[in-house]
Amino acid sequence: MMTMDDVGSRRRVDGAVLTDTRPGTDDPGEPQVRFAEPPEAPARRSGPSSRPKLFLYAADAAAVLIAAALAAMFAARSGAETGENPWQLFWVTAATVPVWLAMFSNQRLYNTRFIARRIDEIRRIVNAAFVGVLAVSAVAGFVRILPPRSGLVMLFVFACISVSVEREAARRLFTRLRTNGRMTRYVVVAGANPEGQEIAAMLQSTKWLGYTVVGFVDDSETAAREPVPGLALLGRVSDLPAILSRYPSASVIVASTGVDSSVTNRMARDLLDRGIHVELSSTLRDISSQRLTVRPLGRFPVVYVEPVTRDGWRAGAKRAFDIAIAAVALVLTSPLVLVAAIAIKLDSKGPVLFRQVRVGRNSEPFGVLKLRTMVTNAEALLPDLIDLNEADGPLFKMANDPRITRIGRILRATSIDELPQLWNVLRGEMSLVGPRPALPHETEEWDALLVQRLRVKPGITGMWQVSGRSDTSFEDYTRLDLYYVDNWTLTTDLAILAKTVPVVLMRQGAR
């Protein structure tokens, strides 16, 4: 017997919802919402398999053996403290390779979710290497071999380095494979609201993350048939098991603001019981994961956010680091600046240095120093070019700005024009790493949120500078700068400085 529920909802039973009609309309037979057929999964399984883990096991074992060989050679060259053969250290380490791999597994080095960030991976490698060296020492004592102490120390050092290098190579290999559509995981986004749409669009454009988005599920009656171009609405949340059954190694990402919490709880229990991975988004997308801690609050799991720390010993350490690096860099780059100064003088009339008022920490104005790359009346010519601006927001950018001199284009492509800013760093007006120093007229167009970037000193380089510069939108400019302001650490500064050199070289090579 057909019930009212059967009349109100016609569905296919093979996993794809075709139509959803509801009573109460002028034409009950006319569907209000049409769900799309899930795209066919390719014949070849593209989801993650056991092969990448086997590859990592073999690569880790090889890295440990390389470290053992280097440690033995070091001990042999430096002279062993005992009469034992230093190469016995290599053979004992080789015998304990299964222990090393077990320690790597114990440190979750074969689980992507625990090593998404390089700093987490390196920390876990150090922990595992320490236990591995202890195992080598224990086995050596058991078989009555006394390896040189210097060899054990160097085994730890070389193991940390070799495994970290090997893991970085593997990370780059996997990133390339994922970008090319290999080693990807199918995923359905639960929630077709703006948050879910943003997640899906990000996964589509960022292939190296390793997700292939199938489509959306949503219980809202107002959800669009195609929330994101190319990604359709496949059904309701309750249809997830049937939809996912068509895809190998499929998982679900839940847009937390797009699905009711009670629905999320039921869905998670059902899917997890079926062995399907479930991930929930966080609305705190611009808060570093290092500052987030999940803890129980009664029967609710809550996320505690560590407060921002911009003062104290961290600020002192950052200032000391700035002074030390800027002083050394000024000395080392002075010949290059001298050559650039001569070239500027020969190329066009005007001063070598260009001084411009910028807005510093706490809205304090200061004069930023740069090598002159434009004609002397560049600022007077700006109003005539403002309609040709290629950047959004208050920023100004032209790919072929006629005000830039011939030498200026070279200096900008190599970032040599920014070297005098090291003097601003020594004076305490800037930092090596921080938000871009803004012009006064730009700050007049900022909203209250963006003004918060003035809580820290501007930097010669920063997250925005190493993330595409002019290729990024003003929204990205805002988000990256505020992310740095709220989450900066000395480790973050070191990572940004390390990225700056290849970014500058790639920009130069692209010209």
Residue-level pLDDT, tens digit, the chain, 511 residues: 333 333 333 343 333 344 444 333 444 444 444 577 767 665 444 445 568 888 899 999 999 999 999 988 887 776 644 445 778 888 899 999 999 999 999 988 888 776 777 778 888 999 999 999 999 888 888 877 777 777 888 999 999 999 999 998 998 888 888 888 888 889 999 999 999 999 999 898 888 888 989 999 998 888 888 889 888 899 898 888 888 888 878 899 999 888 988 888 888 888 888 888 899 988 777 787 778 888 888 888 888 888 877 778 888 999 999 999 999 999 999 999 999 999 998 888 889 998 989 999 989 999 999 999 888 877 777 777 776 666 666 666 777 778 888 888 888 888 889 999 999 999 999 999 998 888 888 888 888 888 888 889 999 998 877 775 545 566 777 788 888 888 888 888 888 888 887 776 665 444 4
What element of type H or E holds 301?
Answer: strand 300-305
Q: What is the pLDDT of residue 419?
A: 92
CA angle 313, 317, 320 (to 5 degrees): 140
Q: In whole angstroms, how far apart are CA 265 and each of 237, 300, 311, 441?
A: 12, 12, 41, 49
| Nearest in space to 480 (alpha carbons), one of 494, 498, 459 | 459
Report the DSSP pairing between strands 251-254 and 431-433: unpaired
- In sequence order, what DSSP letters do the residues of 252-279 get, joined into one string? EEE-TTTS-HHHHHHHHHHHHHTT-EEE
pTM across the whole model? 0.66
pLDDT at 148: 74
8-state DSSP, 283: S
d(CA 274, CA 269): 9
User: Where does residue 62 rank: exposed (0-12), middle (13-18), buried (19+ CB within 10 A)?
Assistant: middle
pLDDT at residue 328, rounded to an integer: 94
pLDDT of residue 10: 37
pLDDT value at position 475? 72
β-bridge pairing 353-359 and 365-371: antiparallel
Q: Is 374 in contact with 385 (CB distance < 8 Å)? A: no
Q: What are phi and psi of 374, to 5 degrees?
A: -125, 170
Q: What is the pLDDT of residue 102?
A: 93
Q: Which domains does the chain have, with CATH numbers?
A: 51-179 (no CATH), 184-283 (3.40.50.20), 313-509 (no CATH)
Residue 214: strand, helix, or coil: strand
Q: How many helices (H) and strands (E) does the chain have?
A: 16, 13
Q: How many CB atoms lie within 10 A of CB 204?
A: 15
Q: To which residue do tokens 């996964």 refer?
A: 203
- Report yes or no: 89 and 70 within 8 Å, Cβ to Cβ: no
Q: Which residues make Cβ contacts (< 8 Å) with residue 219, sequence separation at least 6?
A: 236, 237, 259, 260, 263
Distance of CA 313 to the CA centre of its chain: 27
Looking at the DSSP bridge assignments, the partners of residue 404 are: 374
Question: Residue ranges of the alpha helices (H) in 79-209?
Answer: 88-95, 97-106, 118-142, 149-179, 194-205
